[in-house]
Structure 1
Amino acid sequence: MITDSAGREVILPDNITTVGTYGSASTRFITYLDAVDMLVGVSSNDKTVDVDTEGRPYMLAHPEIVDLALIGTADSFDAELALTINPDVIFLTTEDAAAANEAYEKAGIPIVCFYPYDPVTQFDKFSQSILMMGKVLGKEDRANEVIEYFAGIKADLIARTPDIPQDEKPVVYIGGVGNRGPHGLQSTKPEFIGFTLLSANQKAAGIASNDAATIAKEKILEWNPEILFIDLDTSGAAGGGALLELKNDPSYQELAAVKTGNIYAIPPDTRSWTNYGTSFANAYFVGTVLYPEQFKDIDAKLKADEIYTFLVGDPVFNQLYKNTGSLAYQKVDLSTI
C-alpha cells in the first residue's frame, strides 16, 4: 500500500511490470526514473511527436512513447481504452482524489495520483512524489538519485550566486512564456527558477504563482528591464511573438535592454507541464549572463546535455536548439529577426 499525491491509500499488486500514465507530467517522470520499458499506455498529449518542432526533452529522447496504447484524451481518462491493455497500475497527473476514485470505479485498475511539485519552492513535496512513484515502480534507488541530483543542482546554483544587494543588480524580465499556447512579451513567469535560485532582481516576483502571468505593457515599461530573457515558445504567438514586438514596437525600443542589446533567448521549459531539466539548464545560462565570473566554467549547452542525459537518457540539446529556431543560449540581434 502507498499514499499518493492526493493523500489516498492505494493497494497495489505484488508484482508491477506494466503501467499507464494519464497526463504528460507522469510520463515525464517515468522517463526520469528510467522506467520507460514498463510503460504500455499514455494519454493523447504523449501520442504525437514531431522531431523537427518538439520541445519536450523526454519525447525527443523517447519518441517510441507515441506508439503506446491510448488511455485517454486531453480532456478525460478513458476506462474502456485502459482496460484493453489492463496495466498493473495507472498514474493520474492530479491531486484530485475524487477524479482518481471515479477512474478506479470505472476501470477497476489501481489508480495512483502523481503531482509534479516545483523542485525549488516545494522541494519536500517534489521529493515525496518521486519517492512514491519510485516505490510503485520498484525504482526507489533511482528515485533517490533523481532527488539528490536536483538538490545538488539547486545547491550549486545558490552557491555560485554572489552576495550583492538587490538594488545594485540589473533589473531582469523574462517574456514570451508559454501558457496553454504561445504568447508575446507580456507573458512572464513570476517564479522563474532561473531568477529565483540566482536571487535576480525580478520585479515580477511574487505577482502570481509559478504559472505564467500576464503583465501590463505599461508595467514592463515602468520596470524598464536592463536584461531581457525571451522564452522561445513565443515564436508561435500571433504576430510573431516577443522578439518581433521588441523589434517593431516604438515603446519597447525605449527599454534599456533593447537599447543596449541585452536580449537573450532560452528554450521553453513549459510544454505539457514544466520540463524541469530545461528549467535548470536555463538557470545555468541565466547565471552566465548575470554573474559571468561565477559561471565562467559553465558552457550552458553542455550543461543542458549533462542534465538531459541524466534525466531522460539522451543529450537532446542540439535537437531542441534546432527545433526552437537555433537561437537558444545566446544574445539576440533584433536586426536579424
Structure 2
Amino acid sequence: MTQCVAKLAAAFALAAALAAGNAAAAGSRTLSDMNSRTVTVPETIRKVVPLSGALRFLVYMQSLDLVSGMERIEQRHTAAGRLYGLATRDLARKLPIVGEGGPGKLPDFERIIELGPDVIIVMGLDSSQIANIEQKTGIPVFSLNYGAPGVLDVQSTRTALGLLGQLLGRSGRSAQLIAEMDRLEADFARRTAGLETEDRQTAYVGAVSLKGVQGITSTDAAYAPLAWAGGKNVAAESGKSGHLFIDPEQLLAWNPAILFLDAASLTTIQEDSRKRADFYQRLQAVQKNQVYLVMPYNAYHTNIEIAYADTYFIGKTLYPYRFQDVDPAAKADEIFQAFIGLRGYEALKKEYGGFRQMEFGAQHGFR
C-alpha cells in the first residue's frame, strides 16, 4: 500500500512539473466550464482523457485523434446501443484503460498521470468529484453537462458542444453540429405546425431505459421525440417532469391510443406481457394493434442522434400525412452520418429489431 502511494505521489509530482513546463512553454488560457468553474488549460490541446460518458462528445466533435485513454466500459460496449461506439471500435483495441467507468467508479489516477493529457473532460460530475480528480492528478478537469440522467436537454447539449469547440479549438465543428440540431428541430416544428390540441394523438412511451432496462411503468413525462413529433404525452398529466415510474392502473386509466416501447427493454416487456396478458389486453392500443418499437437513446447518458431519429419514426406513426416523404430508416442514417460520421441504422436494427409495429397474442405476448 505504501509503495502504491509513493508511486502515485511520484507520478503526481512528475505530472505537475510537466504541466508547469508545458504551460510556460506553450502559454495558457482560461475557460469557464458548465459547473461555473474557471479552468486554466494549455493554449493548444493535443491530448485529452474523456471520463463519465464524455467520449460520445469527442466522437460528435470528430476529435478522436486527441483521445489518449478510454474507460473500460467504453471499450467493452462498442455495439449499437451506444451508436458512437461503432466509431470508437478500432480505437478501443489500441488505447490504454483509464478506469472502469460507470456510476460511482473512480478513474485510475496513476494511469491518467502517466498518459499526461492536457485536460480531462468529464460529463455530469458534481464539483466534489471534479475536485477529487484534479487533486489526485494535478491535471485540469473541464466539466460538461447536458441534463439529468435519462432526460434529453437540447439547450444544455448546445452549450456543451459550444464550450467543447472552444476548449479543443474546433469551434467550426461545434457550430456545424448546433446548426444540424437547429435544422432538425425546425423541421419537426414545420411538420407539426397547426396541430390543434384535439387533433393530437394520445400516446404513452413505456419501458424507458434508465440505468438499465425497465418495465412498462417506466416512462418520461417530457419524452422529447414524442413532443417534437406533436404527440400528446399522457404521462404529462402526472404533473411531473422527466423520468418517472407510474402505477399500472394509471396506464389503464390514461388508456392512450398509441403505445411506444423502448427497444432496450423489449425482453423485459415480452416476459411481462406473457405473464400478464390480461392487463395488456385492456389497453386500446393493444386491442387496435397500435404498439410500436422505438430505439433506445439512453445508454451511459443520452445519444441525441438516436432521439432525433426516433422523432421521425414517431411522427410518421402519429401523422403519416405530415411525414409522408420520410423513410425513418434512411432519415436515421442521414442523422447518424451528421453526428457520428457513419450510417448505423442496420446495426441498431440487428441489435434491437429496428423501428416496427409490434404484434400481441395472449399466448406469446409481444413479438
Evaluate the alpha carbon distance shift between residue 244 and residue 225 of structure 1 in structure 2; reply closer, same or farther with a 3 A threshold.
Answer: farther
Q: Are 1:22 and 2:51 counterparts?
A: yes
Quote the Cα distance in structure 2 between the aligned partners of 1:320 and 1:57.
Answer: 8
Q: Are 1:323 and 2:351 counterparts?
A: yes
Evaluate the alpha carbon distance shift between residue 27 and residue 249 of structure 1 in structure 2; reply closer, same or farther with a 3 A threshold.
Answer: same
1:223-234 aligned within 5 A: 223-234=254-265
TM-score (norm 2): 0.84
* Corresponding pairs, count: 326
Q: Are 1:156 and 2:183 counterparts?
A: no
Q: Are 1:245 and 2:276 counterparts?
A: no
1:174 is paired with a residue whose SS is: strand
Alpha-carbon offset, residue 105 of structure 1: 1.4
Per the alignment, residue 134 of structure 1 pairs with: 165
Alpha-carbon offset, residue 122 of structure 1: 4.6
* Structure 1 runs not aligned, ≥5 long: none
> Counterpart amino acid of 1:34?
Q
Aligned partners of 2:78 and 2:85 also within 8 Å: no
Alpha-carbon offset, residue 293 of structure 1: 0.7
1:254-293 aligned within 5 A: 254-293=282-321
Quote the Cα distance in structure 2 between the aligned partners of 1:250 and 1:57.
Answer: 36
TM-score (norm 1): 0.91
Aligned partners of 2:262 and 2:294 also within 8 Å: yes
Per the alignment, residue 69 of structure 1 pairs with: 96
Aligned partners of 2:259 and 2:290 also within 8 Å: yes
Per the alignment, residue 214 of structure 1 pairs with: 245
1:234 is paired with a residue whose SS is: helix
* Alpha-carbon RMSD: 1.9
Task: Please give the per-residue CA displacement for 1:166-212, whole angstroms capped at 9, x wherever unaligned.
Answer: 234332001111111111111112211111223311111264443x3
Which of the numbers 206, 211, 217 marks the counterpart of 1:175?
Answer: 206
Alpha-carbon offset, residue 80 of structure 1: 1.1
Quote the Cα distance in structure 2 between the aligned partners of 1:47 and 1:124.
Answer: 29
> Counterpart amino acid of 2:120?
I
Per the alignment, residue 310 of structure 1 pairs with: 338
2:99 is paired with a residue whose SS is: coil
Aligned partners of 2:222 and 2:233 also within 8 Å: no
Alpha-carbon offset, residue 123 of structure 1: 4.2
Which of the numbers 50, 67, 82 marks the counterpart of 2:112?
Answer: 82
> Counterpart amino acid of 2:143?
C
Quote the Cα distance in structure 2 between the aligned partners of 1:313 and 1:50.
Answer: 15
Quote the Cα distance in structure 1 between the aligned partners of 2:78 and 2:126.
Answer: 31
Aligned partners of 2:146 and 2:152 also within 8 Å: no
Alpha-carbon offset, residue 95 of structure 1: 4.8
Per the alignment, residue 6 of structure 1 pairs with: 35
Alpha-carbon offset, residue 135 of structure 1: 1.2
Aligned partners of 2:312 and 2:328 also within 8 Å: yes
> Counterpart amino acid of 1:242?
I
1:204 is paired with a residue whose SS is: helix
1:82 is paired with a residue whose SS is: helix
Greater CA radius of gyration, 1 or 2?
Answer: 2
Quote the Cα distance in structure 2 between the aligned partners of 1:202 and 1:15.
Answer: 46
Alpha-carbon offset, residue 94 of structure 1: 2.4
Percent identity over paired residues: 26
Q: Which has the higher contact order (CA 8 A, sep 6+)?
A: 1
Evaluate the alpha carbon distance shift between residue 169 and residue 14 of structure 1 in structure 2; reply closer, same or farther with a 3 A threshold.
Answer: closer
Quote the Cα distance in structure 2 between the aligned partners of 1:330 and 1:94.
Answer: 33
* Structure 2 runs not aligned, ≥5 long: 1-29
Quote the Cα distance in structure 1 between the aligned partners of 2:350 and 2:155.
Answer: 35
